[in-house]
Chain A
Amino acid sequence: MILQYHTSEIIIFTENFLDNLLRGLVIEYFSVVRPDAAHPANATPADQETQTRLIAIPSQLPSSNLTTSQPSSSSPSMIRFILLQNRQGKTRLAKYYVPLEDSEKHKVEYEVHRLVVNRDPKFTNFVEFRTHKVIYRRYAGLFFSICVDITDNELVYLECIHLFVEILDHFFSNVCELDLVFNFHKVYLILDEFILAGELQETSKKAIIERMGELEKLD
């Protein structure tokens, strides 16, 4: 088809145009007001498949993965994951309470970092992330992010982050990023004393510090 139009002979033919002309006109005017060419029933099966896949893939992944495979209708309002990242995007702590593939975890970490790192400090501490919500807070060069359900109480998770930072601060006495890097296993231990199964376990800083003291003795 295309080739033919590039040869001069055929162009002479088309200059006699009648059919192509009207087709051209008709296409123009009717296609302007005709979205039904995109109607799924009209698309070929192959088209449909690619269409649905294109739409489905990005939305499917997060929703199916971040939501636990829970049979009851209401989704649990639990913490989905907690991330601790520095400004460069290095993950210093990542705790997932929902099962995710490793590659998916890395993607999540990358995306969350992208979301939070450039936000104006005056903005809200909440960003929508896929079908969920990330509550984040920046302490010096570290971002603490908690991903929760879209309807959950954001303000209380801000308090959670702060409490967690206070505990870390107390435990490492004036914590810095390097403390967290070299003692990452202890940070996980503290987190496990603070949050379990995506729910708050202990709200008293003193209790957690005391508990950590006991655990340290055992090591």
Chain B
Amino acid sequence: MGASLWGVGRARSTLRPPPACFPPQLPTSRASQIPRAPSPPPHLSRACARAPRDLKLDTVEKIVEDFASDMALNPFSSGTRLRDMIRAIRASKTAAEERAVVRRECAAIRTAISERGQEGLRHRNMAKLMFIHMLGYPTHFGQMECLKLIAAAGYPEKRIGYLGLMLLLDERQEVLMLVTNSLKQDLNHSSPFIVGLALCALGNICSAEMARDLAPEVEKLLRSRDVNTKKKAALCSVRIVRKVPDLAENFICLAASLLKEKHHGVLISAVQLCTELCKASKDALEYLRKNCIEGLVRILRDVSNSSYAPEYDVAGISDPFLHIRVLKLMRMLGQGDTDCSEYMNDILAQVATKTESNKNAGNAILYECVETIMGIEATSGLRVLAINILGRFLSNRDNNIRYVALNILMRAITVDTQAVQRHRVTILECVKDADASIRKRALELVFLLVNDTNVKPLTKELVDYLDVADPDFKEDLTAKICSITEKFSQEKLWYLDQMFKVLSLAGNHVKDDVWHALIVVISNASELQGYAVRSLYMALRAYSEQGSLLRVAVWCIGEYGEMLVNNLGMLEAEPPITVTESDAVDAVELGFNCYSADVTTRSMCLVALLKLSSRFPSMSERIKQIVAQNKENMVLELQQRSIEFGSIIQRHQSIRSSLLERMPVLDEAAYLVKRASATQATIPSYKPASGVTPGDLKIPNGVAKPAAAPLVDLLDLSSDDAPVTSTSATPNDFLQDLLGIGGTNLSTAGAPSASTDILMDLLSIGSSPSQNGLLDSSSPAQEKKPFSAVPQVVSLVPEPMDLLGSLSSSASSSAGTKSSTIVPQAADLLDGLSASTSVSGIDDACPSITAFQSATLKIVFDLRKQLGKPQETTIHATFTNLTSTTYTDFIFQAAVPKFIQLRLDPASGNVVPASGKGSVTQGFSVTNNQHGQKPLAMRIRMSYKVNGEDRLEQGQVSNFPPGL
């Protein structure tokens, strides 16, 4: 045995629980007879009704007797017998011992295989090998031995050979091809038993090629007189048709004729073959519809009306298996065929009404019958009957029955929603079931049942249940509740209430995008912000352990702290609460110190504290202390924030208030679009991605994507139409100069020159190359970068490096500041350089087009293509106001045909200054999936407010240059 094989064996044994130690005295364990099922349904104990057997002779004597008889009769009995080997394996107390025994046996079998003249022992060795295989040890060396056994003449050898073939091999192994010839011979064998073996093997493992080769033999055997051969051949044909659907037509007539048989085994096989044929070929379906429907109805009638037949009786029902297979075939035939369906109505009604439903077998038939009624074009009366059966199932006390009821209801909901709605209360109960299988089904069903009218009571029920739900189940449940509330929320207040409840009860199970969405909603609902922050504050006091509740609450307290303290924006029904400024700070501090808070939460707490320091000047000193405590935090992110925020509080009183103003309203529409397009991407936007060091990711490069409106512009170094604005006499000039030296065109948004804006501009200058740096570090494929900054930046690098050198050596603190941030960026740039030397000129610039022009508004698109990605176009839109009034709340929307994918980045702002004195820009990219066949087309819509009045403009952009 090779070492590698053993490796496999060991790996295998780790997959299972440690092997149980068997009692060394085997005979005694024979006393542990298998009793019946723990609680078999009454009918199931039918078989157990026979008188209890005498105790077996569980003695050594008996075993010795066994051995003796084995020796005499059984071919397995000479040498180390199969039994002995199994005993030895079972007697081993440790896994190592077991392996030793198996290794010994395997070695012996290998020797036996390689030696000649041991033919008599072959099948015994094979049997041993199968047992070893079952234990999980590798047995590849036995495969050829199987084939030899199959080629042997006798039945015992062939039996073991075929068994080995089915166990050790499967249809994908090439060795299997070698067996085709033996199979062919055996299918033509005179002994029906050997034919049976061959059919069985063929049915279980045949490959498509074998199916083609051997189909004629199987067809011939379908005409055999022996029932055993016939039924096996029928099922073999099932496999053949599955593998090669083209062969279906050869079997149609034969299958149909088999339906006239009386033997149940042949009948059930034939029905299954017909079902398979219907799936494989339309012709077969038509043929069977025409010729067999009567036969099927007759079979079903006979079997359901037949008197007691002990051979097939299960719980007083004759052959439920045949019932079910026939019903299933009827469903296939009746689907979409009114004539067929009509023909079946009577018998289905009979089965649905007459079948006893107090036993599992009866219920199985009813279940299949309901499925068939739902599947075919049944009369409405029949449907009512079916729905009533489901109602009975749903109130059944047996969990299995309720489970299947939920299952069918889910499919029935498309047929008859009203009928399912009637069972809503029961279904809701099932959501609270102890059994996970039932809960899962019921929850999915409830989700389908929700509509505008019942959303409130249903959500209430689910939210109430959330409190007591299984922790494992909470995740599913919260996800469903959140999507229900989002989908059907008619009023924001209700939505907020529900979300707060969910966050309070299961905040640790809420997915990130859900609470992101919640923040967007709060930010947009100015009249509810006060209510939201107060509710969240109260909730936080009660449920401080819920992660996402903490985040949302902290964010809101930071933003709307004064509303919390001053009870601003009270709703009518809202009880007033008294919260002092110090309480608010306490809450955030508590959140920060909460042991379960992660870095993100803590960072948010720090930002909230910083914001509160400006909202509540009296708290400033205390906040400073809290913040200062983290100056030596081991987490770099927190340490940095702490130091920076400490400086803001301490030294920069003058700009603090404007710096810490409330966030601008977040763009709901844009967020929803993005969220929808990122449905599957569940990676939260700022969890440290693997492979990037946290410091790298978070601090300078954290802006993984331009989002802050003013940033966008600056990041886009390629837009060269905007003038360079330089503010004089600040150290910031320095930076611009720096970049200017590098030859970069610096574009600004021309935004109002509030101090923060300037700061932002400046900072974004700093961060734009570093963004490239991020892309560089994480993208090995340079040419795929969405931004076009590299060429310019490349040229910029050497000089700034020099400059930086001189800068950092200068003692001036302001210059030093800059260098500290620029150095890493330059390093990033260099990284980018080294990686991208071969890809200069990645952009294939197209001219700008005027996409839209009216008396009031002008939109220019700068188009950009990337080499190697002809279908993708990056568009940079510039919006210019041609009137003399400023536009506020400007939103640009675009729609594209289905074959184009569109991704909008946020706009640089939502205010378009008057008279073309400035513009708003927005980047987006389109991917034309049918590039070369269809041209780019786009509809655009701009909504904005002029003096508070809503305006809407829309248009179509059809003047894209060809070849996009």
- Interface-located stretch among B416-424, B493-501, B744-752, B776-784: B776-784
CB-CB under 8 A from B343, the residues of chain A are none
B204: which A residues are within 8 A, CB to CB? 97, 192, 196-197
CB distance from B139 to the nearest CB of A (A): 9
B86 touches A182 (CB 8 A): yes
The verdict on A162 contacting chain B, using a C-beta distance below 8 Å, is: yes
Interface readout for A34-66 with B: 1 if CB under 8 Å, 0 if not?
111111111111110001000100000000000
**Closest B-chain residue to A26, C-beta based?**
B708
Give the contacting residue for B399; candidates A30, A124, A203; CB below 8 A: A124
How distant is B54 from chain A, measured CB to nearest CB, in Å? Answer: 10
CB-CB under 8 A from B523, the residues of chain A are 33
Point out the residues of chain A lying under 8 angstroms from B663, CB to CB: 29
- Chain B, residues 373-413, CB within 8 Å of chain A (1/0): the string is 00000000000000000000000000111111001000100
- Residues in A with CB closer than 8 Å to B648 are 17, 21
Closest A residue to B779 by CB, please name it: A44
A155 to B449, CA, bound (A): 26
Asked if A171 is at the interface of the complex by the 8 Å CB criterion, the answer is no
Cβ-defined partner of A122 (8 Å) among B155, B235, B239, B399 = B399
CA distance A102 to B136 in the complex (A): 8
Q: Cβ of B236 < 8 Å from any Cβ of A?
A: yes
Check if B681 sits within 8 Å of A40, measured CB to CB. yes
Which of the 9-residue segments B30-38, B468-476, B479-487 touches chain A? Answer: B30-38
* Stretch touching chain A among B15-23, B715-723, B832-840, B875-883: B15-23
Type the 1/0 row for A103-121, where 1 means its CB is closer than 8 Å to any CB of B.
Answer: 1001101100100000011
Using an 8 Å CB-CB cutoff, how does the interface string of A164-177 with B read, 1 for contact, 0 for none? 01100110011111
Which partner residue on chain B sits nearest A140 by CB separation?
B34
- A124 touching B400 by the CB < 8 A rule? yes
Given A156-B321, A185-B127, decide whether A124 and B607 contact each other with a Cβ distance below 8 A.
Answer: no
Query: Are B34 and A175 touching (Cβ within 8 A)?
Result: yes
Is B647 engaged at the interface, CB distance under 8 Å to the other chain? yes
B312-362 residues with Cβ-Cβ distance < 8 A to A are: 312, 314, 319-322, 324-325, 328, 360-361
Nearest-Cβ distance from residue A209 to partner chain B, whole angstroms: 11
Name A176's closest neighbour in chain B (CB-CB): B33
B321 touches A128 (CB 8 A): no
Q: Assuming A19-B763, A30-B708, A41-B925, is B360 touching A5 (CB within 8 A)?
A: no
Q: Is the CB of A15 within 8 A of B53?
A: no
CB neighbours (8 Å) of A131 from chain B are none
**In the complex, what residues of B have CB within 8 A of residue A151's CB?**
407, 411
Interface size class of B (residues with CB under 8 A): 35 or more
**Chain B residues with CB below 8 A from A1, complex form:** 693, 695-696, 699-700, 824
In this complex, which of A12, A89, A200 has the most chain B Cβ atoms within 10 angstroms of its Cβ?
A200
- Closest residue of chain A to B206 (Cβ to Cβ) is A197
B90 located at the interface, meaning its Cβ lies under 8 Å from any Cβ of chain A in the complex: yes
A182–B81 Cα gap in the complex (Å)?
A: 11
Which has the most chain A C-beta neighbours within 10 Å: B40, B707, B824?
Answer: B707
Stretch touching chain A among B110-118, B291-299, B634-642, B941-949: B634-642
A31→B519 CA distance, assembly (Å): 12
Q: Which of B38, B160, B766 contacts A121 (CB 8 A)?
A: B38
Task: Given the known inter-chain contacts A4-B820, A35-B685, A156-B320, please indicate yes or no for A203 contacting B440, CB distance below 8 A.
Answer: no
Are B86 and A17 within 8 A (Cβ)?
no
Contact between chains at A72 and B279 (CB < 8 Å): yes
Q: Which of B53, B235, B245, B328 is in CB contact (< 8 Å) with A173?
A: B53
User: For A38, what are the chain B residues with a Cβ–Cβ distance below 8 Å?
Assistant: 678, 681-685
Assess whether A32 is in contact with B519, with CB atoms less than 8 Å apart: yes
Contact flag A23-B400 (CB < 8 Å), given A121-B38, A123-B437, A200-B325: no
Given the complex of chains A and B, what is the CA–CA distance between A205 and B310 in angstroms?
10
Given contacts A23-B702, A140-B34, contact A99 B172 (CB under 8 A): yes
Q: Say if the beta carbon of B367 comes within 8 Å of chain A.
A: yes
State the Cβ distance, B209 to closest chain A Cβ, in Å.
13
- Give the segment of B253-261, B263-271, B561-569, B587-595 that binds chain A: B263-271
Complex: A170 Cα to B53 Cα, angstroms: 12
Q: A126, B437: Cβ atoms under 8 Å?
A: yes
B702 touches A31 (CB 8 A): yes
Which of A21, A158, A188, A215 lies in contact with B193, CB distance below 8 A?
Answer: A215
- B245→A201 contact, CB < 8 A: no
Is B264 within 8 A of A169, CB to CB? no
Q: Return A58 CB to nearest CB of chain B, in Å.
A: 15
- Cα distance A207–B226 when bound, in Å? 13
| Residues from 7 to 49 in B contacting A, C-beta threshold 8 Å | 8, 12, 15-17, 19-20, 26, 29-30, 32-40, 44, 47
Inter-chain contacts of B700 with A (CB < 8 A): 1, 20, 23
Tell me the residues in window 729-753 of chain B with beta carbons closer than 8 Å to chain A beta carbons: none
- A59 nearest CB across to chain B (Å): 12
The reply to whether the CB of A213 lies closer than 8 angstroms to some CB of chain B is no
Q: Which residues of B have CB within 8 Å of A90? A: 16, 19-20
> Which of A24, A169, A204 has the most chain B CB within a 10 Å cutoff?
A24
Q: Does B203 contact A (CB under 8 A)?
A: yes
Given contacts A36-B705, A176-B32, contact A139 B37 (CB under 8 A): yes
With A and B bound together, what is the CA distance between A169 and B322 in angstroms?
23
A33 to B684 Cα, complex, angstroms:
10
Binds A, one of B144-152, B570-578, B669-677, B794-802: B669-677
With A26-B708, A88-B20, A207-B265: A153-B155 Cβ-Cβ less than 8 Å? no
Query: Once bound together, how far apart are the Cα atoms of A125 and B821, in whole Å?
Result: 63
* Choice from A41, A55, A92, A197 contacting B680 with Cβ under 8 Å: A55
Q: Report the separation of the CA atoms of residues A17 and B652 in the bound assembly, to the nearest whole angstrom.
A: 11
Chain A residue with minimal CB distance to B710?
A26
Known contacts A38-B685, A188-B163, A201-B232; A154 and B404 CB within 8 A of each other = yes
Asked if B685 contacts A197 (CB within 8 A), the reply is: no
21 sample A-B contacts, Cβ–Cβ < 8 Å, listed by A number: A1-B696, A19-B821, A20-B699, A21-B645, A21-B647, A23-B767, A26-B763, A31-B685, A33-B523, A34-B685, A39-B677, A41-B925, A55-B680, A71-B245, A102-B138, A124-B400, A140-B32, A153-B367, A154-B407, A203-B312, A207-B265
Instruction: List chain A positions with a Cβ less than 8 A from chain B.
Output: 1-2, 4-5, 10-47, 51, 55, 68, 70-72, 74, 76-77, 88-97, 99-100, 102-103, 106-107, 109-110, 113, 120-128, 137-142, 151, 153-156, 158-160, 162-163, 165-166, 169-170, 173-178, 181-182, 184-185, 188-189, 192, 196-197, 199-207, 211, 214-215, 218-219
Given A35-B678, A177-B32, A201-B269, output 15 extra A-B contacts at Cβ < 8 Å: A18-B763, A18-B817, A23-B703, A34-B516, A38-B682, A42-B786, A88-B19, A120-B434, A155-B364, A156-B321, A174-B53, A199-B238, A200-B272, A201-B235, A218-B156
